Structure 1
Amino acid sequence: MEDYNGIAISKNDKGFVVAFDNFVNGKMQSATNTGKALATIHRYLQSQAFKVCVAYIRQLAVNYRTGYYDERNETAARRAVMMYDTLMNGDEIYDPEYKELKDKSV
């Protein structure tokens, strides 16, 4: 395992995070077109990519609920709360840890 900002992460996962960070920090021309292109990858891989997407949304929601955001990412974090809460309220996701955090922050 390696360390990335205090998170124990595999070497391959860290490599992806670094590559994605570099991509969105100046190399991406269109989030819309990138999203469209990603939606054409193999269907199994779409499912795996979506798991990463949901995990990212969850972490942004946790960050918002714990006050770990600023004006640069407040909109993303606030919208992540709305999305993740919608999945939780619709019984699409079972996440007692997040529910406890949500109940404390209300």
Structure 2
Amino acid sequence: YNGIAISKNDKEFVVAFDNFVNGRLQSAANTGKALATIHRYLQSQALKVCVSYIRQLAINYHKGYYDERNEMAAKRAAMMYDTLIYGNEIYDPEYNELKS
């Protein structure tokens, strides 16, 4: 989040999530299942965050902003986001231009 215009609340979430994933996460699958039980409106909002994260990893992949530690995550994110783009689920001309 360095160099990114981000609110204090959003930054606090990023730091908390970073700390959670870096040592406190015990099961990504179970955490995902539990998140899917939050209020339905919040599920929609959480998915927006998830898709935005996938989009940024996909952009990083296409720009070569990854290393061997996160190459698989970046590559898979690009594959997922491309599927949404090509399936006309998301309209993102900026991303399409990046890939040209």
Shorter-chain TM-score category?
over 0.9
TM superposition shift of 1:79: 0.2
Partner in structure 2 of residue 68 of structure 1: 65
Deviations 1:52-89, CA, capped at 9 Å, x for gaps: 00000000000000000000000000000100000000
Aligned-pair identity (%): 83
Partner in structure 1 of residue 19 of structure 2: 22
TM-score, structure 1 as length reference: 0.93
Q: Which runs of 4+ in 1 moved over 3 A?
A: none
**Greater length-normalized contact order (CA 8 Å, ≥ 6 residues apart):** 2
TM-score, structure 2 as length reference: 0.99
1:81 to 78, 81, 92: 78
CA distance in 2, matches of 1:31, 1:78: 19
Q: Tell me the amino acid that sits aligned with residue 12 of structure 1.
A: N
CA distance in 2, matches of 1:8, 1:43: 28
CA RMSD, Structure 1 to Structure 2 (Å): 0.5
Where do 5+ consecutive residues of structure 1 fail to align? none
